[in-house]
Amino acid sequence: MELERVRPTVLRITLHTYELAALTAAARYVAETAPAEVPPEAVSQLRDLLAGYDSAVRGLGTAPPDHTGAPPDHTGPPAG
């Protein structure tokens, strides 16, 4: 895991997928089973964070990004 401070309130995190899965599973567990002493505002923020995460994951697709610098593969009809 690597953390980099980009701005005072912004961090860039590099994780392995299993690390992100563990953090996400723990967050979901707390959001769904939080004891009474956890403030409702904190549970609400956690649920909002998870909703944003789920939305971002849906935008990723299934293939890993191409870091070769090759142009994207367009599967539309041929030009012309």
Q: So what's the pLDDT on residue 69?
A: 60
Tell me which of 16 and 61 has the higher pLDDT.
16
Residue type, 13: I
Burial 42-67 (b: 16+ CB within 10 A, else e): eeeebbeebeeeeeeeeeeeeeeeee
Q: What is the pLDDT of residues 2-59, one digit of tens each?
A: 999 999 999 999 999 999 999 999 999 999 998 899 999 999 999 999 999 999 999 8
3-state secondary structure 32-58: HHCCCCCCHHHHHHHHHHHHHHHHHHH
Write down the pTM of the prediction: 0.66
Domain ranges of the chain: 2-60
